[in-house]
Amino acid sequence: MTTTTIPPAKPLSKDPLHGVTLESLLTTLVDNFGWSALASQVNINCFKSDPSIKSSLKFLRRTPWARKEVETLYLDFVEGHLRPDMTRSKRRTPLSEVKPSKPKVSQATPAADSPWHNHPLTKKPQQD
């Protein structure tokens, strides 16, 4: 009787694009939507003027913002948020468009024994 050992399972990547090549991603989008629909969503000339996979790959590899837009389209398609007419049921915001939130300002008052307790900058304006 021989025993076989099962190798430990590798942890799954949290990146949804892990293992997906840019070429397969672009080919999937072109096959499902066509060049004109892609050009209407991402305004780049390689989708409009004489489009090809080769020229698009070259441009997307050199242009991070365009690549993020195409990756966002692909993720929306894979997750079912992108309809056949290229409208979205939900809009995923590309990381390039995410704006940082405002820093939170503490509303806490200093402790009574703190040197900041009677400091003029920490006093709240008097309301009459």
Region 60-66: mean pLDDT is: 93
3-class DSSP state of 13: coil
Residue 41 CA to residue 81 CA, distance in Å, equals: 14
- pLDDT, residue 100, reads 62
What is the pTM (predicted TM-score) of this model?
A: 0.59
CA distances from 108 to 104, 116, 120, 121, 126 (A): 12, 12, 15, 13, 17
Which ranges of 52-95 does DSSP label H, i.e. alpha helix?
A: 53-62, 64-78
Q: Write down the pLDDT at residue 118.
A: 72
Is residue 76 pLDDT above 80, yes or no? Answer: yes
Rounded Cα gap, residues 36 and 56, in angstroms: 13
pLDDT-derived band of residue 29, with 50, 70 and 90 as boundaries?
very high
pLDDT over threshold 90, residue 53: yes
Task: Please state, in angstroms and rounded to a whole number, the distance separating the CA atoms of residues 40 and 19.
Answer: 27
Number of helices and strands in the chain (H, E): 5, 0
> Average of pLDDT values for 49-58?
93
Average pLDDT over every residue of 52-63: 94
Answer for the pair 75, 16: CB distance below 8 angstroms, yes or no. yes
Chain-wide mean pLDDT for the chain? 78
